């Protein structure tokens, strides 16, 4: 074969794979990767003007706008690209990022969940699932900020009577090794109360966001003067405010007050003393006492669900509690280690195993680069691969007899293609 025909054939293959005017798209991608977003936008716009149906260029135009910080145009173009190719995972993920940037977390969640439904994770499932969890947290944070912004217009009277928030327990003793129980005990009671269908329980993440915003994150202290405000902002008609005290290194005394958000006054009080070795049994008894105070009538199914003890290992639970605190501080990798440690101590502690996986996922999901890798499938752009093929053919192929078999039986995928090109030895005269 004539050497001069090889680049021509390679170019023909590229056009067949990609379509017309690939150089504009390639130039746009090059500028995008170099951070020259305005120039990339110009290239993609030129390509789209030649081929208005080129959804890939429309997609990359939207992503370029996103990188430039023009999120409205990003959403507009990415939505346009998605209308042309509804199952394109890359477009869906980029659109999710753009919605995040404008704090439209409902739309962002919808995008990421749609991507998950496609089942094309390309090894980045952890990042996608973590991003979904991270956005759920951001959504809670936005709800808190909006509540604070509109605090003057919030009405306590409109809060449902069955809504409850469990505030962090407070360690009143000097034994600092018991401090991790402050969040862990709260988490367990919230989990148990959430199993009662007649109650609307505020998530612990939302509680933490509010306490951070109003500078109560460290102490978590809510009294009669602050309870009405906290209840109104959380949308809870009743607040559970608890403490515990190490009596003699063996027994803990628990006190829980039910505070009405309307008045800030204590409506009910319960106290309980139990051996630390029976911590989980005592916690369940405490939960049932709280439910009795709230006037809840439990079904047999609800009662059975609450009675399930997640772990019988106190040390495993302490590691779990430490993980909760690290997670609240955004230190997800360290939190995952604590949850993993809890699961090692008690392999049957399924909540710790789940929390560990979630923390790893969130850690992966915090890195936008992981989302971009997921979007691209972790593979090289097809134009770059084909250009590489062209270069390889031009530099390495020599003319001569090709006695290789045209098809290798060991290859299980693909199709056999026979291409025959006839080149005249001379140009016939007219």
Average pLDDT over residues 337-348: 96
189 with 94, same domain? Answer: no
**pLDDT at residue 127 in the model:** 77
Query: What kind and span of H or E run contains 273?
Result: strand 266-275
**pLDDT at residue 417 in the model:** 40
Is 407 inside any structural domain?
no
Question: CA-CA distance, 297 to 88, in Å (whole number)?
Answer: 50
Q: Confidence class of residue 51 from pLDDT cuts 50, 70 and 90?
A: very high
pLDDT tens-digit series, residues 177-202: 999 999 999 999 999 999 999 999 99
Chain centroid to Cα 63, Å, comes to 20
Q: Which residues of 121-138 are buried (b: 16+ CB within 10 A; e: fewer)?
A: beebebbbbbbbbbbebb
187 with 257, same domain? Answer: yes
Is 136 inside any structural domain?
no
- Direct distance between the N- and C-terminal alpha carbons of the chain, in angstroms, rounded to an integer: 26
Question: CA-CA distance, 423 to 307, in Å (whole number)?
Answer: 83
Crossing angle of helices 89-101 and 105-118, in 10° steps, is 160
Question: CA-CA distance, 213 to 322, in Å (whole number)?
Answer: 22
205 with 106, same domain? Answer: no
pLDDT tens-digit series, residues 214-234: 875 445 566 667 777 888 888
Lowest mean pLDDT among 156-160, 373-377, 384-388: 384-388
300 with 171, same domain? Answer: yes
Average pLDDT over residues 307-318: 93
Is 180 inside any structural domain?
yes
Percent of all residues in the chain with a pLDDT value above 70, rounded to a whole number: 77
Last residue of a domain, one of 276, 309, 342: 309
Last residue of a domain, one of 309, 333, 349: 309
89 with 206, same domain? Answer: no
Q: Confidence class of residue 361 from pLDDT cuts 50, 70 and 90?
A: confident
For residue 74, with 0-12 CB atoms within 10 Å meaning exposed, 13-18 middle and 19 or more buried, which class applies?
buried
116 with 233, same domain? Answer: no
Question: What pairing do the DSSP bridges indicate for beta strands 238-246 and 163-166?
Answer: parallel
CATH number for the domain that contains residue 171: 3.40.50.10070
Lowest mean pLDDT among 21-25, 78-82, 236-240, 419-423: 419-423
Averaged pLDDT score across all residues of the chain: 80
**pLDDT at residue 241 in the model:** 85
Is 88 inside any structural domain?
yes
- Residue 93 · residue 76 · CB < 8 Å: no
pTM above 0.85, yes or no: no
Question: CA-CA distance, 244 to 282, in Å (whole number)?
Answer: 12
Residue 395 has pLDDT above 70, yes or no: no
Percent of all residues in the chain with a pLDDT value above 90, rounded to a whole number: 44
State phi, psi for 171 to the nearest 5 degrees. -80, 110
Residue 248 has pLDDT above 90, yes or no: no
Q: Which residue has the higher pLDDT, 370 or 263?
A: 263
- Residue 136 · residue 108 · CB < 8 Å: no
CATH number for the domain that contains residue 60: 1.25.40.10
184 with 293, same domain? Answer: yes
Interacting residues of 396 by C-beta distance below 8 A, sequence separation 6+: none
116 with 23, same domain? Answer: yes
**pLDDT at residue 96 in the model:** 92
Which residues span the domain enclosing 18?
5-120
Residue 383 has pLDDT above 60, yes or no: no
51 with 181, same domain? Answer: no
Most confident segment among 11-20, 30-39, 226-235, 417-426 = 30-39
Last residue of a domain, one of 268, 283, 309: 309
Q: Confidence class of residue 269 from pLDDT cuts 50, 70 and 90?
A: confident
101 with 211, same domain? Answer: no
Residue 1 has pLDDT above 70, yes or no: no
162 with 269, same domain? Answer: yes
Closest-CA residue to 61 (of 49, 78, 84)? 78
293 with 163, same domain? Answer: yes
Q: Confidence class of residue 59 from pLDDT cuts 50, 70 and 90?
A: very high
Question: CA-CA distance, 240 to 219, in Å (whole number)?
Answer: 15
**pLDDT at residue 156 in the model:** 75
Residue 256 DSSP class:
E
254 is written with which tokens?
Answer: 């628990």
Residue 421 DSSP class:
-
**pLDDT at residue 57 in the model:** 96
Is 405 inside any structural domain?
no
Is 413 inside any structural domain?
no
Q: How many CB atoms lie within 10 A of CB 42?
A: 17
Q: Name the region of 272 (left: φ>0; alpha: ψ -120 to 50; beta: rest).
A: beta
What percent of the chain is helix, strand and coil (3-state, nearest 5)?
Answer: 60, 10, 30
Q: Which residue has the higher pLDDT, 114 or 62?
A: 62
Is 174 inside any structural domain?
yes
pLDDT tens-digit series, residues 123-175: 567 777 888 888 888 888 888 888 888 888 887 778 888 999 998 899 999 99
**pLDDT at residue 107 in the model:** 93
Residue 378 has pLDDT above 70, yes or no: no
347 is written with which tokens?
Answer: 């392999």
pLDDT tens-digit series, residues 99-121: 999 999 999 999 988 888 877 65
How many domains does the structure of the chain reveal? Answer: 2
Is 18 inside any structural domain?
yes
Average pLDDT over residues 251-262: 88
Question: CA-CA distance, 323 to 329, in Å (whole number)?
Answer: 10
């Amino acid at each position: 074969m004539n050497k001069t025909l090889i680049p021509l054939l390679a170019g023909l293959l590229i056009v067949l794979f990609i379509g017309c005017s690939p150089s504009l798209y390639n130039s746009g991608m090059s500028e995008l990767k170099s951070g020259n977003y305005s120039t990339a936008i110009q290239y993609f716009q030129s390509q789209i003007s030649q081929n208005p149906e080129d959804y890939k260029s429309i997609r990359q135009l939207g992503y370029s706008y996103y990188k430039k910080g023009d999120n409205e145009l990003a959403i507009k173009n990415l939505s346009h690209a998605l209308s042309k190719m509804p199952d394109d995972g890359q477009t869906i993920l980029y659109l999710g990022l753009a919605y995040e940037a404008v704090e439209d977390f409902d739309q962002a969640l919808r995008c990421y969940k749609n991507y998950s439904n496609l089942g094309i994770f390309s090894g980045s499932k952890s990042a996608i699932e973590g991003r979904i969890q991270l956005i759920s947290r951001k959504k809670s944070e936005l709800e808190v900020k909006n509540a604070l912004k509109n605090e003057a217009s919030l009405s306590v009277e409109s809060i449902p009577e069955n809504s409850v928030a469990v505030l962090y327990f407070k360690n009143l003793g000097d034994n600092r090794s018991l401090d991790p129980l402050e969040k862990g005990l709260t988490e367990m009671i919230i989990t148990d109360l959430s199993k009662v269908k007649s109650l609307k329980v505020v998530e612990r993440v939302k509680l933490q966001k509010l306490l951070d915003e109003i500078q109560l994150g460290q102490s978590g202290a809510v009294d009669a003067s602050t309870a009405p405000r906290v209840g109104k902002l959380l949308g809870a008609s009743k607040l559970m405010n608890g403490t515990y005290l190490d009596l003699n290194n063996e027994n803990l005394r628990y006190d829980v007050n039910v505070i009405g958000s309307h008045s800030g006054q204590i409506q009910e009080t319960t106290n309980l003393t139990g051996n630390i070795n029976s911590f989980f049994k005592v916690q369940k008894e405490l939960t049932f006492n709280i439910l009795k105070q709230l006037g809840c009538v439990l079904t047999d199914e609800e009662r059975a669900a609450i009675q399930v003890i997640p772990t019988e290992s106190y040390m495993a639970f302490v590691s779990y509690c430490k993980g909760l605190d690290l997670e609240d501080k955004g230190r997800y990798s360290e939190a995952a280690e604590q949850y993993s440690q809890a699961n090692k101590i008690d392999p049957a502690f399924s909540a710790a195993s789940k929390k560990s996986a979630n923390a790893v996922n969130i850690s992966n999901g915090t890195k936008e680069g992981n989302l971009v890798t997921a979007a691209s499938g972790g593979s090289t752009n097809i134009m770059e691969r084909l250009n590489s093929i062209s270069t390889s053919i031009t530099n390495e192929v020599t003319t001569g007899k090709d006695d290789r078999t045209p098809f290798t039986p060991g290859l299980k995928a693909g199709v056999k293609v026979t291409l025959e090109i006839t080149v005249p030895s001379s140009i016939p005269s007219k």
